[in-house]
Amino acid sequence: MIGKDIGNACAKETLKAIIEDLNGDYFGILVDESKDISHKEQMALVLRFVNKNGEVVEQFIGLVHVSDTSACSLKKAIYSLLSIHSLSPSKIRGQGYDGTSNMKGEINGLKILIMKDSPSAYYIHCFAHQLQLTLVAIAKNHLNVEDFFYHVSNVLNVVGGSFKCRDLLCDHQAKKLEQLFESGEVQKGQGLHQEHGFQRLVFFVVIDVQLQELNDRFDVVSSDMLLGMGSLNPVNSFSNFDKGSPTSKEFVILAKALVEANLAETYSLVYLLVKLTLILPVATATVEGAFSSMKHIQNEVWNSIEYENSSRTTVNE
């Protein structure tokens, strides 16, 4: 019990520092759900914001049990967590989830429910998930691509676990490339990485269908927002204003520079635009990492201890 009290105290102090760093400003939310070792549905919440130093950060806020994963239940759990830390849903300026229907549904999805309360809380479908869906869709519709990834997977499993197999594969590939050079099927060129030439030829075969699928998968609104972000790049007197190339790295540098030079308040509207740009989440890796950590922390012994403690508490009460 003393150990648990110490852990709870550390958690409270950590969360207090995070909330103070947020300082009542705008933020984005990253949300994901998964079952724990006891098969209970858990929801993780991460805040994305620009801190007092002008740095964009993603901070884990909490993990809570939800009775189900409907959009209404998730929204209630999110608002409850925010309320505990005196954070208003009206300050949400970005939403980052995976692409499941309960999250991005256009009628009763979580993104719609939150946007009804905060219309500026724009939703971004995790780009990593979109890329994965693109590859899956291509593999299903093109047998050659499916075979390609199947063979690549097998090769990686066999070769990746043995240096001897890796050396044998490299020797075999070198001999194969030498035969292609002699037959004239592949041309040698100065400065080219000839050892990887064969792999490049294979990848070029599927690049066109991948690009087409990416255009079909990525949401127009999300893409337009990213292009708009590029126009805020101050390099060369905002030369990208009409070009629209996303350069988030420059935004991070600009935000920090404005804070360090004490110009954030002088150019408050510029700083606000930069912050809103950085708040938009493009991936949910941080919140998914919370569940990876949960699997390391929770185990059968931990779960049984928690059950015993809860039972004793109930009896004592």
Mean pLDDT of 200-211: 59
Residue 144 CB neighbour total at 10 angstroms: 10
Q: How confident is the model at residue 278 (pLDDT cuts 50, 70, 90)?
A: confident
Domain ranges (residues) in the chain: 1-126+282-317, 134-216, 219-280
Calculate mean pLDDT across residues 270-291.
82
Residue 19 binned pLDDT confidence (cut-offs 50, 70, 90)? very high
pLDDT tens digit sequence for 220-241: 555 555 555 555 554 554 455 4
Mean pLDDT, residues 106-112: 79
What pLDDT does 223 receive? Answer: 58
Which of 18-22, 89-93, 159-163 is predicted least confidently?
159-163
pLDDT of 209: 65
Q: What percent of the chain has pLDDT over 70?
A: 68
Does residue 34 surpass a pLDDT of 50? yes
pLDDT greater than 80 at residue 54: yes
Residue 311 has what pLDDT? 42
In this prediction, residue 1 carries a pLDDT of: 87
What is the residue-averaged pLDDT of the chain? 75
CATH 2.60.40 fits domain 1-126+282-317: no
